Amino acid sequence: MDDLRKVKFTLEQINGTIGDYESAGENAENVMKERTGVFYCWGNEPIFDSVTGTYHDRTIGVVEEYSTGKVYHVIPKFMTFLETLEQCK
């Protein structure tokens, strides 16, 4: 885990639920709290566009939270790298 980049992130809120599908019952304060973890990789997930009736890919970061070990799909705008690529070498 030493070679993974450290990040801080918050969870997204979509239609009253959050990006972490297991935790739909968490309150808004807990959902929007700043978390720290490590970044694993970029990925894509399909998103349904109800206007056009089609699916589109959305980029997500796969991040593990330090304190819980939970893995989240995080939209890039909700994630900040704490180290530059040069600092990781």
3-state secondary structure of 53: coil
Is the model's pLDDT at 21 over the cut of 50? no
For residue 75, give both structure tokens: 């939209």
Q: Which pTM does this prediction carry?
A: 0.72
3-state secondary structure of 72: strand
Residue 44, Cβ neighbours under 10 Å: how many?
Answer: 11
pLDDT tens digits along 23-42: 545 566 666 788 999 999 99
What gap in Å lies between CA 35 and CA 9, rounded to an integer? Answer: 5
Structure confidence at residue 70 (pLDDT): 94
Estimate to the nearest angstrom the gap between the alpha carbon of 21 and the chain centroid. 12
In angstroms, the first-to-last Cα distance of the chain is 14
Is the model's pLDDT at 69 over the cut of 90? yes
